Structure 1
């Protein structure tokens, strides 16, 4: 098991922290519900409705969170509507989903007394807020370029501070990684669409020949390709798992981090934030 800034890694399984928090909250609310069931003598039909509503609330909230996010960024998704169903880009509106899930839970359990429902909802929300704060406080996070340098295709050492002065997107990838391969065309197109942004492809643990063969085979002409044979960037940024993408503003400050496959709308959203006045 490994812990990173964005996810809990259990073998090949990667669970984003928000998913871990949601599941933890549901399990604890289920346990608290069992307590109220015995204390207030809930009838069996009410208990079954309560139990079922927890998991249906999770799915209602998940779907609503995705729909809220897509609607808020409709201009980005209209150009590539198939990306709407690519939930691996992690485009979810947390609070929209939370409100929808709680609303569904309240409606399904309308026959129960108000006090236990209020306590259960307060418990769930408190778990989300407190654990999220705890995770962000405890886990180490690098918020600027680390003091690292990497070799490029011309065998020259390039320090990360070289990119200060322009917004920069650094993608950690490998040729054997299927989601890395799927997002490559998105990043390659973005390099052409956003000439004022550096796109740095930081390969993880592969040889120069392997990378050159891969880029040549798939006709990817990236301007900046670097090599990280020991995974130093992942260690410094606490980002384990591929692909991972880091978004730095012109001052070298980290604005966003994304673990997993990027879709075109999600990438554009991050890039728009890089251009926002607050990130300059």
Structure 2
């Protein structure tokens, strides 16, 4: 499962797991420090902000050449461009600094952070195991080509890594990211890009592609949105990254920037290269 729906809002499961871990950390820190009336909520918030800022800045620095062409996109964190290890280092630095300045805070903060990390790891592990058991490989969902011919994702793979984009013509972020994906399809010839339209017929898809002058290969139709249900996502756009063996390597909910797509493709190549050499 990639997201859950709360009314009209689609919330990423990964974000909910992080929120749950923060609540666990806050609760445990409160219990440990209650005799001295010490809470760690403010420290955890500062750690979170420092982690987000550092992770974003390092990601931008890593992919600066890509961001250079669209500098304002550096501010759009919806592309999911973060470097986790940088965030972890920054959060640890804030925790050490807070503990050094306020010795009574050390024990509640240590126990709270430890409990939060353990809770996050356990929840993430359980979700990962459930997803792996439910989706061992490429979804076996019946799709059709724009010409009306039946097909499946496995028939499109051809032994290459695969990027599967779930989109619709009425979806603004889908339309914004489509030129980025179209350019990548032209450049990344060792990766199969598939564009699975959700809930529309061929006329609507062709009308959008023609109006946008998008020359895309491997455009498929999923009028019943069965693919979205199979991978556990009702949010659009959703992009899935599979290695050459058909195993899911990464996912992205929301609009992809050129930098975030380049980062995902780099991860996909790293995962695929050892298989290619064998």
Give the TM-score normalised by structure 1: 0.85
In the alignment, the residues of structure 2 paired with residue 153 and residue 197 of structure 1 have an alpha-carbon distance, to the nearest angstrom, of: 21
Instruction: Note closer, same or farther for the CA distance 1:196–1:218 as it changes in structure 2 (3 Å cut).
Output: same
Q: Tell me the residue number matched to 1:278.
A: 274
- Pair 1:30 & 2:26 matched: yes
Map of 1:133 onto structure 2 = 125
Does 1:160 pair with 2:153?
yes
Which aligned pairs between 1:88-103 and structure 2 lie closer than 5 A?
88-103=78-93
Alignment correspondent of 2:107:
115
- What is the number of equivalent residue pairs in this alignment? 270
Query: Residues 34 and 253 from structure 1, CA distance in 2 versus in 1: closer, same or farther, beyond 3 angstroms?
Result: closer
Q: TM-score, normalising length from structure 2? A: 0.86
The CA deviation string for residues 17-62 of structure 1, in whole angstroms up to 9 with x for no partner, is 33223322222232233334431345xxxx5xx4432222221111
Task: Indicate the residue corresponding to 1:214 in structure 2.
Answer: 208
Structure 1 unaligned blocks of 5 or more:
none
Match of 1:231 among 225, 243, 259: 225
Q: C-alpha root-mean-square deviation of aligned residues, in Å? A: 2.4
Choose 219-228 or 189-198, whichever is displaced more: 189-198
Following the alignment from structure 1 to structure 2, what is the Cα–Cα distance between the partners of residues 232 and 261? 21
Distance 1:66 1:116 in 2: 28
**Aligned-residue offset at 1:79:** 5.1
Q: C-alpha distance in 1, partners of 2:122/2:234? A: 24
Q: Residue 137 of structure 1 aligns to a residue in which SS?
A: helix
- Checking the alignment, whether the CA contact within 8 Å between 2:51 and 2:91 is kept in structure 1 is yes
Give the 3-state SS of the residue equivalent to 1:234 in structure 2: helix
Q: Deviations over 1:98-142 (max 9, x none)?
A: 331232133234313333332122112212222211221234542
> What is the alpha-carbon distance in structure 2 between the residues aligned to residue 237 and residue 18 of structure 1?
15
Q: What runs of 5+ residues in structure 2 fail to find an aligned partner?
A: none
Q: What's the secondary structure of 2:245's corresponding residue?
A: coil
Residue 263 of structure 1: CA displacement?
0.9
Question: CA separation of 1:267/1:226 partners in 2, compared to 1, >3 Å: closer, same or farther?
Answer: same
Deviates more, 1:6-15 or 1:61-70: 6-15
In structure 1, the residue corresponding to 2:73 is in which secondary structure?
Answer: helix
